[in-house]
Amino acid sequence: MKIMWTDEALARLREIRRYIAQNNPERATLFIQKIIDRTEILINSPQIGRMVPEISRPDIRELIYKNFRIVYRIKNDSIEILTVFEGHMLLNIIEL
């Protein structure tokens, strides 16, 4: 399995990094790297995340890292990271 990041997901990572970097640029870079690293588990275990409650589709799942939701889609030969956002928020389906 190969992991691919959508433009939306990458834009969200940049927003998160920019926000954290206001107080601590080094921590911001490390935090984003840890989110990216967290997705690596999907290469061998794509079903590990739970189905996204707002959608209830078996191909769209999410991992949790700290207080962030990493939403992804399982495809035949790849994992597509769709978006990343704070866990207390509901998924905006329009973003997908």
pTM of the model as a whole: 0.89
Model confidence at 65, in pLDDT bands (50, 70, 90)? very high
Indicate the number of domains in the chain. 1
Q: Is residue 6 part of a domain?
A: yes
Which of 17-26, 66-75, 78-87 is the least confident region? 78-87
Q: Is residue 94 part of a domain?
A: no
Q: Is residue 20 part of a domain?
A: yes
Q: Is the separation of the CB atoms in 92 and 17 below 8 Å?
A: no
Q: Is residue 93 part of a domain?
A: no
Among 94, 24, 90, residue whose Cα is nearest residue 53: 90
Q: Is residue 19 part of a domain?
A: yes
List pLDDT tens digits, range 39-62: 999 999 999 999 998 888 999 999
Domain containing residue 80: 2-88
Residue 3, SS3 per DSSP: strand
Residue 55 has a pLDDT of 87
Q: Is residue 62 part of a domain?
A: yes
**Vertex 6 angle, CA 50 and 67, to 5°:** 45
CATH classification at residue 30: 3.30.2310.20
List pLDDT tens digits, range 73-96: 999 999 999 999 986 656 666 565
What is the DSSP code (8-state) at residue 90?
A: P
Among 33, 26, 3, 11, residue whose Cα is nearest residue 84: 11
Q: Is residue 96 part of a domain?
A: no
